[in-house]
Amino acid sequence: FPEEAYASMRDDESRTPLYARAIAARLGEAPRGTLSVLDIGTGPHAVLALLAAEAGARKVYAVEVNSDAAARARAAVRAAGWAEVVEVIEGFSTEVTLPEKVDLVVSEIVGSVASEEGLYATAADAHARHVLRPTSADSWIPHTVETWSAPLPCTCMLRVRVRVRTCISAWADGNALVM
């Protein structure tokens, strides 16, 4: 991602405070310093990892596949004073091995379409290998994602629909139609 995209996610006043409240609420359910967290796709600012550390996580494993972003995340963690709590691990979460299973997974690997950034495979792997209580909604932030769509008219789509109908009609009539 370009720096502008990372900064935009970090500074998003409609998203980041919601993550902060959700993380603080979840970690606040247990005594401070007792729960562990996995941040998948931490990015160069380690935003969610730092929010978890500030909210009282005992340990945060911040996984980032991009080596430049991982190096910058390590620097951000050190600058924030959380190097004893947040460990940045370079690699795909599906390929790393954590020293323990975690209580909570936080991530923002949802693109414009819920599965765009490999969310399904990543979550399935974390479910199988990284989470203490994988079937509990309390183990995931976010715990559900949805993609909404709405049809809209487009003349180019109307042309495609006509061609498809023509092709289907020709096939149904037993005529070969090559487009």
Report the alpha-carbon distance of residue 68 to residue 16 in Å, rounded. 22
CA distances from 56 to 31, 127, 153 (A): 8, 23, 50
First to last CA, the chain: 39
Beta strand ranges found along 13-163 (DSSP E): 36-40, 59-64, 86-90, 104-107, 140-141
> What are the distances in angstroms from CA 46 to CA 88, 101, 174, 176?
9, 20, 60, 58
What does residue 50 show for φ and ψ, rounded to 5 degrees?
-70, -35
DSSP state of 57: -
- Say which of 3, 29, 108, 146 is annotated catalytic: 108
Please indicate whether residue 117 is annotated as part of the active site: yes
**Structural contact between residues 66 and 26, judged by C-beta atoms closer than 8 angstroms:** no
Helix, strand and coil in the chain, % to nearest 5 = 40, 15, 45
Q: Which of 54, 87, 90, 117 is catalytic?
A: 117
Annotated active-site residue 4? The verdict is: no
Annotated catalytic residues are 108, 117
